[in-house]
Amino acid sequence: MAVIPDAGPAAWLDELRRRCAEHVHGFVTERVREHFTGRAAGTPASTALPEFVAGGKFLRPLFAYTGWCCGKPDDEAALRSAAALELLHCFALAQDDVMDGSERRRGRPALHVRFARWHEAESLGGSAERFGESAAILAGDLFLVWSEQLLRSSGLPAGILARGWPIYDHLRSELAVGQLGDLVNEARALPAWGDVLDVVRRKSGNYTVRRPLEFGAALAGCDEQVVHALGTYGGLVGEAFQFRDDLLGAFGDPAVTGKPVGDDLRERKATTVVVLAAELADRGQRAELAGLLDLDVVDTAAVERWQRLITATGARDQLEKLIDERVHHALEVTDLADLPHQPADALTTLALRCTERVR
Amino acid sequence: MAVIPDAGPAAWLDELRRRCAEHVHGFVTERVREHFTGRAAGTPASTALPEFVAGGKFLRPLFAYTGWCCGKPDDEAALRSAAALELLHCFALAQDDVMDGSERRRGRPALHVRFARWHEAESLGGSAERFGESAAILAGDLFLVWSEQLLRSSGLPAGILARGWPIYDHLRSELAVGQLGDLVNEARALPAWGDVLDVVRRKSGNYTVRRPLEFGAALAGCDEQVVHALGTYGGLVGEAFQFRDDLLGAFGDPAVTGKPVGDDLRERKATTVVVLAAELADRGQRAELAGLLDLDVVDTAAVERWQRLITATGARDQLEKLIDERVHHALEVTDLADLPHQPADALTTLALRCTERVR
């Protein structure tokens, strides 16, 4: 174990992230070697897939492993189990980017774009775009399969894994159903605040923070009081995380987000920022908003009009306030739960890391 | 157990299929009730998903359960495990239909078409087609997740399941990688016969017959000789199955296939029929073939020209011969393996059912 027990929470989390990245990169490299033979071997999958899974922030594994550490000491098999959640996240990213038509991910071309470019470079017949989308969907399917396989073969005894399966199963279905809810919301002119919050809870709140924490705590056999505190923290920080994500999607610096400025606005996503702006808008602002929603193409000038309008309604300030309140409340809850100091400190660090403006 | 031990193989298989359909329908209905709340509940998923999973031929579960019966007596938990393969198949169908742009499945609109129509009927914003495709991809994801969940919760003890996981895992990855290989083949003007056969082995041969049989036999703890015989049978019948499928895709009666006549030709699929025709074509036929491959739209007249050309090259007769040879050889292998009479009879019936002209 390379972890220094007395390291500060940031160093502890960075070291865990490094080990998680090693686990998923190694596992996916093995799977790619096993399966990408024959016709599929020539595609960029063999290099793109291992690279893709190791390139993230590993928030979900870090939350899961923090949950584990609330009940049990450092354990490499438990960390591998936690790392399985990163592959689940990669599944979601690969497929969501196709569905949302997102061209970039983590400052690089999205997976479907990489596959499409390969198709073009090889001068294959048919639509390169269509091929890229299908290949990225299949890459996502493989990540979904491999996540479960990594978890099952993590090295944790079956009896311990049995405590985690119900949450893992729930999380997987909730993620896909949440994405469907998101598509329904996007498809409507503008959903109500309550509908957006419902999807936020399922897709991000639960999936990014709450379920991973509960999953780790369940594996570790934590008592009910701890699980309850982690669940409350997870719900609050998860929502705050999504609010920040939506603010970054509307106002964020491309250097930070790895995406074009105002990407969510260009894609006409019905995010919390946009829906809250609609709820807070006065009559004149509402008319201007309707005009923006009707645009066929959202260019840079339109993005800037969107941004000014959202700010003018007060939605931006209001979301900042909601973020602060949620983080504050979450930290109060975990302070009272009498957790071991290392995971307790990590929860504070992670809550801030998830919701900070320059994330 | 409703199975009559002395029933003929067709009655035995029909009864197994009925029980498998009950298992998957019941399981998916429970999952839908659990997860489709909130925004997603209004979509057609709640009714369409249970209906979809119960509507197939259950070939893969029947092969798996026949494999089981080579080593163990009738067992409902084993049948549930076998039924999990049907959900895996539903995953593949839902997503393949999107990737291939197939409008119909089992004589009805494909899942993505059903979701798209709902989107239109609800007058939602954005592209109905795009929404339908994304929703069907997500439905496929759920089937993939639920397949594994049904298997894990089938009621078979963990020690018995442990014998099946390696094959199940291999099958899942092989299926997705095979589909990617298929897309690469379709994208090329015309792949070589060897490349098409490679994909046929992975996608259909292995996935439809061989791996299910090996999976069931592994769960039952069959000895190596039985597993070997089933694997050989599976490879041969699987290929024959795909050859028949490709013949039906080019020449089949819509009343039998549930799809428009010549659907594979319209979709320009590089199936074994088309590739073999190209290999067997003389110079004049090759020029005509090149002309057909260059068409922007394959209309009914073009389908008829395709059909005449394929027949004229001798590819149709040649494939019929390959099917007969493979089935004949497969039945020889299982005859020699000294299997219990019920699964042995079922293997004969299934080999014919998989490859008969009116399937």
Give the H/E segment covering residue A105.
strand A104-105
Shortest CA distance from B101: residue in chain A: A130
Tell me: the pLDDT tens digits for A323-342?
999 999 999 999 999 899 99
Tell me: the pLDDT tens digits for A131-172?
999 999 999 999 999 999 999 999 999 999 999 999 999 999
Tell me: the pLDDT tens digits for B158-202?
999 999 999 999 999 999 998 998 888 776 667 888 888 887 877
Q: For residue A138, list chain B residues with Cβ-Cβ distance below 8 A.
A: 95, 176-177, 179-180, 183
Is the pLDDT confidence value at B212 over 80?
yes
A177 → closest Cβ in B35, B126, B176: B35
Lowest mean pLDDT among A104-118, B34-48, B257-271, B340-354: B257-271
Instruction: Respond yes or no on whether ipTM tops 0.90.
Output: yes
pLDDT at B27: 98
Tell me: the pLDDT tens digits for A9-29?
999 999 999 999 999 999 999
A183 touches chain B (CB under 8 A): yes
- pLDDT band at B107; cut points 50, 70, 90: confident
pLDDT at A224: 94
Q: For residue A149, list chain B residues with Cβ-Cβ distance below 8 A.
A: 169
Q: For residue A145, list chain B residues with Cβ-Cβ distance below 8 A.
A: 144, 169, 172-173, 176
Tell me: the pLDDT tens digits for B130-146?
999 999 999 999 999 99
Q: Chain A interface, mutation test: which of B184, B206, B275, most A Cβ atoms within 10 Å?
A: B184
Task: State the alpha helices, DSSP H only, in A36-110.
Answer: 45-53, 59-69, 76-100
Tell me: the pLDDT tens digits for B308-324?
999 999 999 999 999 99
Domains of chain A listed by start with CATH number? 9-355 (1.10.600.10)
Interface list for A 137-176 with B (CB within 8 A): 137-138, 140-142, 144-146, 148-149, 152, 158, 165, 169, 172-174, 176
Percent of chain A with pLDDT over 70: 96
For residue A96, give how far its alpha carbon lies from the nearest alpha carbon of chain B (Å). 9
pLDDT at A6: 59
A138 → closest Cβ in B135, B179, B198: B179
Q: What number is the average pLDDT over the span A263-268? A: 84
Q: Which of B210, B95, B214, B86 is nearest to B150 (CA)?
A: B86
Q: Do A137 and B95 touch (CB under 8 A)?
A: yes
pLDDT at B46: 92
Note whether A26 and A55 are within 8 A (CB). Answer: no
Q: Which residues contact B137 (CB under 8 A, 6 or more apart)?
A: A95, A98, A99, A137, B94, B95, B98
Percent of chain B with pLDDT over 90: 73
- pLDDT band at B260; cut points 50, 70, 90: confident
pLDDT at B170: 95
Is the pLDDT confidence value at B359 over 60?
no
Q: Which of B107, B111, B14, B27 is nearest to B57 (CA)?
A: B14
A255 touches chain B (CB under 8 A): no
Q: From the CB of residue A317, how many other CB atoms can be counted at a distance below 10 Å?
A: 11
Query: DSSP per residue over B234-286, as a string?
Result: HHHHHHHHHHHHHHHHHH--HHHHSS-TTHHHHTT---HHHHHHHHH--HHHH
Query: What's the mean per-residue pLDDT of chain A?
Result: 91
A181 → closest Cβ in B39, B125, B189: B39
Q: For residue B121, list chain A residues with Cβ-Cβ distance below 8 A.
A: none
For residue A12, give how far its alpha carbon lies from the nearest alpha carbon of chain B (Å). 33
pLDDT at B256: 75
